[in-house]
Structure 1
Amino acid sequence: MSTKIKLMLILATLVIAVIAIIWWMLRPPGLPASIVTGNGRIEATEIDIATKMPGRIDEILAREGDFVETGQVLARMDIHVLLAQQSEAQAQVHQAESARQTAKAITVQRESEHNAALAVVAQRSAEYAAASKRLNRSQRLVGEGATPQQEVDDDNARVLGM
């Protein structure tokens, strides 16, 4: 080997050695205080979750292995069926309210009819009392000869017709 090649090899070895020494001296002294090293095994804790209502999952927002916090939304449910059920329930409420209003109106009408019937009964009672008095008066007057028998018969028919 020629002297020139030997000199180049020695020089290259010295350059590599100097670079290695400089790197070793400038490297960080170790891991930062916030990092702890050691050997071990991490096991995940499985937690079962459930919804208040049955249904299909539309979108899952958390992935396996993700850290989650209390109250964090993990999935979204498909709520189309629930919205349809809500609309149906609201329609039933409106229908029941309408039926209640109708029943209330019918009750008011029946009370009015009842009051009218009571008024008719009172009127008929007054008419009967008046017809009975007139019959008694006519019978007295016929006995005295002050009125014809036909008037007594008419008053009697009026009382019996009531």
Structure 2
Amino acid sequence: MKPLAALTCANVILAVVMTFSMQSFTLPLWPMVIAWAGFFHLGGSDHPPTALAAVLAHAVFGVFAGWLAALAILFNPTALPGTVWVPLVVGAAVGVMSLASGWPRLAVLPVCVYGFAANWAYLDVPGRFDPAVLTALRADNVIVALPLALLIGGLFGWANAKLIAQLSAPAARPLP
């Protein structure tokens, strides 16, 4: 199969499988898609194990930074109003992620930001941006749900790379 056809078929097949299977699970679908894309952003076609480890390190770091920022926002220890406090906290979190990008293990800042953004998208669902949820070990806590979703998404990326390679490989010719 030609490379573009293999890519298209693999993407469609796995997108259907992911979307269908997520109807039965409570994990968030879109962070999985983010990790899947991040897998390829970090070279998953060429080095799948390295890309999977890298997408998890980067995106989970972003989720962790977002979770800490959410806690800081909820437990504002200052007298600053939210209109001032929230931008300062988000700016500090972005600053920490930016500084961390100087470390080779977190050098691809956009993938850290993908995790940070996924954190806030997840917390935008009513009931999740709550101190009781964010400080308990429970399935709807962003720090519990997103790393698992990111892992599954990264594994879908790996499966995608394998399927593309399989579909685009020349057909084996029978021996004479």
The TM-score range, normalised by the shorter chain, is: under 0.3
TM-score, structure 2 as length reference: 0.21
Task: Give the structure with the higher percent helix.
Answer: 2
**Whose RCO is larger (CA < 8 A, sep 6+)?**
2
